């Protein structure tokens, strides 16, 4: 069955998967969604015998139907290779009764690698398929992890350039160091004086700027996005939920047909939406537990049906979740509105003009698979410390937000189904916060002394991504005001 893509804000026009990946965002500002969610056509038992790459193929082939088998397998095998430091790509670790799905074994040690190691291949293949001759300019806003993962994925890829905007004061020191030391003549990294939402809004504005696009086209450039608004980010993420389920099936933790719950530390709502797609494809998933930090706009939304971004933006120790405008929620809104583009447009316009919207009762009833929770800074730190003391397992701050929310959910509901917690970053990426949570004595230690100490107490080798930045020179030091983002892009492209 051919799957096409349409905008959440327009009923009529559809494009192929490769065109949707090339465009990133739809022209009307909506997000591309598949016209139908395909169902898995291989049994879970069979998938349980397959490798990560094989499972990924079984998922991707159903969504990206205009790619040939050879193209998809090439993309998959180029992405999920030795860049990952474990053969399983996404291993599960059991600790204190939950299953941590470690999605951070790629080149930049955050779960963004799961999608961003394949996106450049999907995109360059899409350009070929669509006779797109211009140079592709990847424009990306990052709350810290997407930026580095996208830079690593696109660095020196012929026919592409990549520009990353990050909030200068909103990322961890290791995250910043990873980005500003990025090599590759086609890379450009810029700190902005605003927060992540400002960066994301600035990028979306450039996507919607027809005058800018025309000038770019004349100069031989076209924009695409590496943010999770790109369907080419979302689809590869579905694979690891199918993979996780089938591993638990293979080792007997789950019986055939038995449901597992999923808890996801959430920011832009891409990762948890991928879990929902996995469920809709036929993976037996029960509850989708959406975990937020102090920026708990999603928790409030699931509780009340009102999405309201009019609140203080709080900087936390889980910076990749410091977001008040969760872009991918629009895809869920569209689904629960019964694929009603007019209704989705109305709500998104309301978000733009008033900063909030309220869904109907009928829409709210369709959210029964989801539940929200949040973790304060103190609770997140406590979750890290107590899991470490109980089991020796050290998790990062984002994963800890999810662990806390999961523990509270389980206590409150008694729902003790097997639960997978999406472990979205290596603790090495947030060493200072992680070690500070374990023992206050670490506060005065230097960044790399903390790295070595973490290795000692966790018994985990320091990942290459960290070894690389110990001595790497800073190659990017541009900082600009939010209003100047477009000017920076024009300068880099020589427009
Ligand atoms: C991006 C990110 C998140 C949030 O994921 P979304 O798909 O944006 O909801 C959570 N944790 C880490 C470490 C991240 O990098």
**Tens of pLDDT along 27-78?**
898 999 999 999 999 999 999 999 999 999 999 999 999 999 999 999 999 9
Token pair belonging to 1:
């069955």
Phi, psi of 358 (to 5 degrees): -125, 130
**CA separation for the pair 326, 237 (Å, rounded):** 17
DSSP 305-371: SEEE--S-----S-GGG--SS-TTHHHHHHHHTTS-HHHHHHHHHHHHHHSEEE--HHHHHTTTTEE
Ligand 1 midpoint to CA 321 (Å): 6
**CA separation for the pair 126, 121 (Å, rounded):** 8
pLDDT for res 1:
86
What is the pTM for the complete model shown?
0.95
pLDDT for res 204:
86
Largest separation between any pair of C-alpha atoms in the chain: 61
pLDDT for res 216:
93
Ligand 1 midpoint to CA 426 (Å): 12
Q: With a 6 A CB cut-off, is 320 part of the ligand 1 pocket?
A: yes
**CA separation for the pair 47, 472 (Å, rounded):** 41
Q: With a 6 A CB cut-off, is 198 part of the ligand 1 pocket?
A: no
Token pair belonging to 403:
């662990």
pLDDT for res 227:
85
Instruction: Read off the pLDDT of residues 356-392 as tens digits, 9 standing for 90 and up.
Output: 999 999 999 999 999 999 999 999 999 999 999 999 9
Cβ neighbours of residue 378 closer than 8 Å, sequence gap 6 or more: none
pLDDT for res 172:
87
Pocket test for ligand 1, best of 145, 262, 426 (most atoms within 8 A of CB): 145
pLDDT for res 207:
87
CA–chain centroid gap for 174, Å, is 19
Q: With a 6 A CB cut-off, is 269 part of the ligand 1 pocket?
A: yes
Q: With a 6 A CB cut-off, is 397 part of the ligand 1 pocket?
A: no
Overall average pLDDT of the 235-258 stretch: 98
Instruction: Read off the pLDDT of residues 91-144 as tens digits, 9 standing for 90 and up.
Output: 999 999 999 999 999 999 999 999 999 999 999 999 999 988 889 999 999 988
Ligand 1 midpoint to CA 246 (Å): 23
Is the pLDDT at 208 greater than 90, yes or no? no
Ligand 1 midpoint to CA 101 (Å): 14
**CA separation for the pair 329, 21 (Å, rounded):** 19
**CA separation for the pair 225, 219 (Å, rounded):** 19
Token pair belonging to 181:
């030391």
**CA separation for the pair 184, 405 (Å, rounded):** 40
pLDDT for res 399:
98
Overall average pLDDT of the 413-420 stretch: 98
Banded pLDDT at 11 (limits 50, 70, 90): confident
Q: With a 6 A CB cut-off, is 267 part of the ligand 1 pocket?
A: yes
Q: With a 6 A CB cut-off, is 265 part of the ligand 1 pocket?
A: yes
Ligand 1 midpoint to CA 220 (Å): 33
**CA separation for the pair 10, 6 (Å, rounded):** 7
Is the pLDDT at 487 greater than 90, yes or no? yes
Percent share of the chain, pLDDT over 70: 100
Least confident of 171-180, 270-279, 436-445: 171-180
**CA separation for the pair 266, 260 (Å, rounded):** 18
Opening angle at CA 21, ends 17 and 22, nearest 5: 115
Which atom belonging to ligand 1 lies closest to the Cα atom of 268? 8
The residue from 6, 61, 112, 129 that is catalytic is 112
pLDDT for res 81:
96
**CA separation for the pair 320, 265 (Å, rounded):** 9
Phi, psi of 291 (to 5 degrees): -105, 130
Q: With a 6 A CB cut-off, is 398 part of the ligand 1 pocket?
A: yes
* E strand intervals along 72-112: 92-95, 98-102
Q: How many residues does the chain have?
A: 495
112 given a catalytic annotation? yes
């Amino acid at each position: 069955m051919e799957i096409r893509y349409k905008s959440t804000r327009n009923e009529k026009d559809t494009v192929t998967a490769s065109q949707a990946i090339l465009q990133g965002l739809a022209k009307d500002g909506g997000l591309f969604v598949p016209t139908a969610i395909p169902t898995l056509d291989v049994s879970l038992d069979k998938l349980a015998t397959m490798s990560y790459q094989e499972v990924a193929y079984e998922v991707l082939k159903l969504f990206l139907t205009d790619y040939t088998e050879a193209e998809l397998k090439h993309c998959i095998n180029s992405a999920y290779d030795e860049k990952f430091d474990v053969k399983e790509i996404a291993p599960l670790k059991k600790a204190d009764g939950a299953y941590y799905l470690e999605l951070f074994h790629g080149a930049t040690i955050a779960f963004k690698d799961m999608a961003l190691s394949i996106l450049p291949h999907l995109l360059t293949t899409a350009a070929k398929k669509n006779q797109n001759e211009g140079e592709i300019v990847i424009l990306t806003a990052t709350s810290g992890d997407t930026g580095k993962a996208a830079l690593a994925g696109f660095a020196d890829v012929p026919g592409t350039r990549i520009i990353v905007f990050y909030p200068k004061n909103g990322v961890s020191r290791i995250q910043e160091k990873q980005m500003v030391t990025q090599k590759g003549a086609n890379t450009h990294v810029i700190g902005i004086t605003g927060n992540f939402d400002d960066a994301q809004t600035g990028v979306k504005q450039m996507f919607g700027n027809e005058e800018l696009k025309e000038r770019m086209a004349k100069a031989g450039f076209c924009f695409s996005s590496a943010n999770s608004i790109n369907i080419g980010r979302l689809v590869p993420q579905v694979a690891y939920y199918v993979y996780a389920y089938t591993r638990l099936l293979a080792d007997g933790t789950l019986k055939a047909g038995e449901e597992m719950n999923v808890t996801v530390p959430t920011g832009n709502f891409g990762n948890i939406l991928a879990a929902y797609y996995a469920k809709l494809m036929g993976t037996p998933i029960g509850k989708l537990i959406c975990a937020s930090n102090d920026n708990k706009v999603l928790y409030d939304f699931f509780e009340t049906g009102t999405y309201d971004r009019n609140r203080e933006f709080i900087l936390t120790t889980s910076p990749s979740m410091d977001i008040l405008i969760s872009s991918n929620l629009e895809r869920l809104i569209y689904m629960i509105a019964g694929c009603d583009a007019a209704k989705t447009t109305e709500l998104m316009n309301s978000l733009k003009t008033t900063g909030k919207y309220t869904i109907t009762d009928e829409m709210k009833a369709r959210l029964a698979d989801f539940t929200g929770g949040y973790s304060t800074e103190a609770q997140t730190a406590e979750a890290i410390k107590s899991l470490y003391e109980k089991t020796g397992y050290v998790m990062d701050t984002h994963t800890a937000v999810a662990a806390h929310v999961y523990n509270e959910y389980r206590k409150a509901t008694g729902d003790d189904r097997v639960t997978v917690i999406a472990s979205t970053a290596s603790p090495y990426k947030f060493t200072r916060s992680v070690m500070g949570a374990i023992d206050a004595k670490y506060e005065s230690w230097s960044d790399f002394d903390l790295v070595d100490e973490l290795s000692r107490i966790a018994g985990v080798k320091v990942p290459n991504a960290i070894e690389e930045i110990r001595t790497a020179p800073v190659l990017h030091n541009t900082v600009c005001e939010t209003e100047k983002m477009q000017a920076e892009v024009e300068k880099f492209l020589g427009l």
